[in-house]
């Protein structure tokens, strides 16, 4: 059996605690930004890559968008499904590796927020696989909105 990577181990039993972290408290504002950037077009189909516990998928679904959420972590997806069910929302949450997505030209928009996988990989090549797979999942002229870690932050703040 393959040894799990640090990011797989980290998120294994992190579902409930994740929602209490300070860096996940901006969901409403983040979704406001996304909606404005999409001109409030509810017909757009959205792929939420590295969706975690589904905070953006859930909020955008509440606002009338059709969202598919994918994440590598089974516990995160289980938590996302629980949260959606509690709010009577039907959202397609799937356990998938962003480096190997099964979609082809299916989405109008992809979001990958709060380090939804992209900068967590061990190599640039792995990160590039995520970008390639997300791009392949998008229709022509689609939008891809994502955030990433600031590589200079640890250097500037002398963090090991």
Domain extents in the chain? 43-156
pLDDT value at 137 more than 70? yes
How far apart (Å, rounded) are the C-alpha atoms in residues 129 and 125?
A: 6
Tens digits of per-residue pLDDT, 1-52?
Answer: 566 654 555 555 555 565 555 455 679 999 999 999 999 999 999 999 999 9
Question: In the CATH scheme, what architecture does the domain 43-156 have?
Answer: 3-Layer(aba) Sandwich (3.40)
CA distances from 97 to 70, 121, 156, 158 (A): 8, 11, 32, 32
Q: For a pLDDT cut of 70, what percent of the chain falls above it?
A: 70
Selection from 142, 81, 79 nearest residue 106 by Cα: 142
Give the pLDDT mean for 54-61: 97
- Confidence tier at 96 by pLDDT (50, 70, 90): very high
Q: What is the reported pLDDT for 106?
A: 97
Question: Cα torsion at 80, 76, 124, 146 (round to 10°)?
Answer: 30
């Amino acid at each position: 059996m393959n040894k799990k990577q640090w990011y797989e181990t980290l998120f294994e039993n992190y579902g409930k605690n994740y929602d209490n972290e300070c860096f996940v408290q901006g969901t409403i504002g983040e979704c406001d930004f996304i909606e404005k950037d999409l001109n409030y077009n509810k017909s757009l189909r959205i792929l939420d890559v590295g969706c975690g516990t589904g905070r953006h998928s859930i909020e955008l679904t509440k606002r009338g968008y059709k969202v598919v959420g994918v994440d590598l972590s089974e516990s995160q997806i289980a938590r996302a499904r629980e949260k959606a069910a509690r709010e009577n929302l039907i959202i397609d949450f799937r356990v998938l590796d962003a480096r190997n997505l099964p979609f082809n030209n299916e989405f109008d928009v992809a979001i990958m927020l709060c380090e939804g996988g992209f900068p967590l990989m061990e190599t640039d090549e792995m990160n590039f696989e995520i970008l390639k797979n997300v791009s392949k999942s998008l229709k022509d002229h689609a939008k891809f909105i994502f955030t990433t870690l600031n590589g200079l932050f640890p250097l500037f703040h002398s963090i090991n």
